[in-house]
Structure 1
């Protein structure tokens, strides 16, 4: 069977931040001696130039600028990056351009400049409104700065904006978690990412683990929080993503629907479908800024093929993060495999009530969403 081309997105990584948070396992580096903004921008665009043969003529549907803290770059710098991308690739008329931002760097004039330069959506890393929690999480902003950032975003001519909020924080109670969530809801963001803190390897929290809430309390927080969000008009469409109508993050939807994306910048990952070769490529760029900007090395660290036997797990690992029905036709179109290769696992998943089959669609059940790992292991 032949592969079909899915939508194409672009991820741009800016690795610097003001201060490394103890829970963060992303490729980020605290600013020590200034940021080589212009040098890095030149490398980003050269990196993109090297990837262009993989996507010749394809249109970008979304761009996501992540980090690190991209808002440490100037508005002129972000504009330069976006202009450079648009000179190299066609873009959709309604292109979504998301940029991550820290409330501690949110200034009216600066952020108006980002919007003028092409940003259409901000993702603001609030994480908590509680002073004690913000301190424990190593955040550089306070609650009032977080609220001011959200209020400012609401005044800008954006397609949308998101607030990132954590729960399951050290010493957090049910009342504390719901109070945090209610403060976020009161700011009326079109989109909320509400996710549980997890301790990741190679982080400060991994070496000095804080005491986190027990599983039973975490479940109560999740259940009561979901009810609070639903009552406020937010629809859950992914494991940790909630939005008002029409404000789902299109960039992340493309990831989860097994779409394609280029990744440029330090440590950026990409996935590209090449139907003519019946191939799906995954790419990883050099991780450390010094190595990435070393002209003698190039930008690519890894390029691997997604083998046919690995595609079912990859497809469902992404797709079943979404709560929407999954078109059955997407499986063969995006993996190049016949449905017969997954008939056994599908039957078992249906028998265990982890998903249901309806005409033309698979639908993950509430049980399947709760026991997602059990569902996914069927496709390994």
Structure 2
């Protein structure tokens, strides 16, 4: 198998829809290694060896991008997101070579947002200053909790003091835009525990907070060895009190689990939720791409790092072209996560389908109190956001 076989190819186009213009384009880069796999984690992450294959992996990432470049169709990147795993395990030299190689192949928007996920246990001041000099201008710090017992239960490698220092180190390294990732509904967590974590996070003054409930996912340690989680009544109390506390301190909720200070919403994630396009490179990375004839393709890369690094094997593990019947559900599954929804006209811009064809589904969802009756926007009601699966049933093929 030669190098040209490692790329991503659109299957023959299906008829029935077309787009006037292509959506914005982002890039997701997956770094699959962690110091230790957490018991709740179902992401494609693998325990790192003492020495990471940085050079080989950067070479593979750039080759992967090279194969997918025709699918950019001349668009520049509006955002880049380094996810994992723990991308902050990579050196600044490796990430610098990678970013330079990406920019040589595809244009960057003048105001591009470049986010790096980082864990407190990997913070080194000089290293993060070097990341900032590379043009990385946003961090997402995986705190999860500040309480030692909770961190130990979650299998995290950092302690509460390191979590607090990470925010200060990020700011001292020049990052004036950073997210803290925080969980609630943790093993044996009380309402007071959850709010104490949230107050500590707010005191660190991040520009953005991702605050979400721990869920038990298949193929994780927690799925097979289930911890004792809070009762539903406690979870509801945590959710209500936490949202009120965040609003009180100027963190506006704009998505199911995302809260931001004014002007600090995560542009990369907004692109996902507004059904924009994104290239995905790296082991296990996913992509969603639109062709000029309106066909939309979801694809994913091979998961195991050793296979991804093997030049005899393909980067791409699979792909699926979305059918015309699937598009409404796929679009709304993302867009209705946004608390303000999206302009109604975006539906046709992203799917190529007339929204008028779904007037009956909209009417039924509105009668159920799940969708706001607004001809100019597609917005879930507060109840609709709580019961999003019920709302989406109206738009199933």
Identify the TM-score tier after normalising by the shorter chain: over 0.9
Aligned mates of 2:315, 2:112 — CA distance in 1:
26
Aligned mates of 1:203, 1:162 — CA distance in 2:
25
Find the counterpart in structure 1 of residue 376 from structure 2: 360
The answer to whether residue 55 in structure 2 is matched with residue 68 in structure 1 is no
Query: Is contact 1:43–1:293 with CA below 8 Å preserved after alignment?
Result: yes
Large movers: runs of 4+ above 4 Å: none
Aligned mates of 1:334, 1:69 — CA distance in 2:
32
Mapping of residues 257-336 of structure 1, within 5 Å: 257-276=274-293, 278-336=294-352
Q: Choose 338-347 or 188-197, whichever is displaced more.
A: 338-347
Q: Choose 121-130 or 321-330, whichever is displaced more.
A: 321-330
SS of the equivalent of 2:162 reads: helix
Give, in angstroms, the shift of residue 58 of structure 1: 0.7
Q: CA deviation digits over 1:213-259, x for unaligned, max 9?
A: 11111010000000000001100000000000011000000000000
Aligned mates of 1:158, 1:110 — CA distance in 2:
13
Picking from 156, 165, 169, the partner of 1:148 is 165
Query: Is contact 1:2–1:333 with CA below 8 Å preserved after alignment?
Result: no
Give, in angstroms, the shift of residue 285 of structure 1: 0.4
Give, in angstroms, the shift of residue 72 of structure 1: 0.5
SS of the equivalent of 1:20 reads: coil
Mapping of residues 185-204 of structure 1, within 5 Å: 185-204=202-221
The answer to whether residue 221 in structure 2 is matched with residue 210 in structure 1 is no
Query: Is contact 1:12–1:63 with CA below 8 Å preserved after alignment?
Result: yes
The answer to whether residue 22 in structure 2 is matched with residue 5 in structure 1 is yes
Q: Choose 161-170 or 29-38, whichever is displaced more.
A: 29-38
Find the counterpart in structure 2 of residue 174 from structure 1: 191
Give, in angstroms, the shift of residue 119 of structure 1: 0.7
Query: Is contact 1:154–1:189 with CA below 8 Å preserved after alignment?
Result: no
SS of the equivalent of 1:248 reads: coil
SS of the equivalent of 1:169 reads: coil
Q: CA deviation digits over 1:133-159, x for unaligned, max 9?
A: 000000000011111110111233335
SS of the equivalent of 1:355 reads: coil
Aligned mates of 1:363, 1:17 — CA distance in 2:
38
Q: CA deviation digits over 1:2-34, x for unaligned, max 9?
A: 213111000000000000000000000001342
Query: Is contact 2:336–2:378 with CA below 8 Å preserved after alignment?
Result: no
Query: Is contact 1:177–1:221 with CA below 8 Å preserved after alignment?
Result: yes
Q: TM-score scaled to structure 2, two decimals?
A: 0.94
Picking from 182, 187, 191, the partner of 1:165 is 182
Query: Is contact 2:18–2:295 with CA below 8 Å preserved after alignment?
Result: no
Query: Is contact 2:335–2:341 with CA below 8 Å preserved after alignment?
Result: no
Q: CA deviation digits over 1:55-88, x for unaligned, max 9?
A: 1311100000000000110011111111111111
Aligned mates of 1:351, 1:154 — CA distance in 2:
48
The answer to whether residue 67 in structure 2 is matched with residue 50 in structure 1 is yes
SS of the equivalent of 1:378 reads: helix
Mapping of residues 132-143 of structure 1, within 5 Å: 132-143=149-160
Picking from 132, 137, 140, the partner of 1:115 is 132
Picking from 79, 101, 108, the partner of 2:118 is 101
The alignment yields a C-alpha RMSD, in angstroms, of: 1.0
Aligned mates of 1:370, 1:174 — CA distance in 2:
20
Aligned mates of 1:186, 1:65 — CA distance in 2:
26
Q: TM-score scaled to structure 1, two decimals?
A: 0.98
SS of the equivalent of 2:395 reads: coil
Structure 1: unaligned runs, 5 residues or longer: none
Find the counterpart in structure 1 of residue 41 from structure 2: 24
Equivalenced residue count is 379
